[in-house]
Structure 1
Amino acid sequence: MRGTVGEGTNPGGDPDADLDVVIVGAGASGLACAADLLAAGLRVRLLEAEDVVGGRMRTDRIGGFTLDRGFQVFNTSYPQVKRRLDLKALRLRPFTAGMLVHTSDGPRRFTDPSRRRGHGGLLPVEGASARDLTALGLLSARDMLAPTAWLRRRPDATTATALADAGLSAELVESVLRPFLSGVFLEDDLETSARFFHLVWRSMLRGTLCLPAGGIGAIPAQLAARLPNSVLRTGVRVASLTPDGVALAEGGELPVRTVVVATGQGAAAALLPGLDVPRGRTVTTLYHAVTRSPLAEPTLVVDERRRFLNSCVLTEVHPGFADDGRALVSTSVLGSPGPDEVAEVETALGEAYGADVSTWEPVHRVTVRDALPAMPPPLALSRGTRFAPGRYVCGDHRATGSLQGALASGARAAREVLADLGAGTG
Structure 2
Amino acid sequence: MTRHRQAKATGAAVPLAVLAWLVAPASAADIACQLTAAALQCGGTAAGTQSTAVGDGSQATEPNTTAVGQQATGFGANSSAFGQLAVANGVSSTAIGQNANANLDYTTAIGADAAAQGEDASAFGQGAKANAAGATAVGQDAIASKTQSTAVGRSARASEVASTAIGEDAIASAANSTALGQGSRANSTASTALGQKAIANGVNATAVGQNATANADGSTALGMTAAANAVNSTAVGYNATANGVGATAVGQGSIAAAAGSTALGQSANASAAHATAIGDGANASFANSAAIGTGATATRADQMAFGTGSSTYTFEGITSSASRAAQSGPVQIVTTDANGNLASADVSDLFDVRPIMKQIDEVNEGVAMAMAMGTPTLPDSKNVAVSAQWGTFGSENAVAISGIARLMDDSLFLTGGIGFGLNQGSIGGKAGVMLAW
TM-score band w.r.t. shorter chain: under 0.3
Larger strand proportion, structure 1 or 2?
2
Larger relative contact order (C-alpha < 8 A, sep ≥ 6)?
1
- Scaled by the length of structure 1, what TM-score is found? 0.19
- Scaled by the length of structure 2, what TM-score is found? 0.18
Larger helix proportion, structure 1 or 2?
1
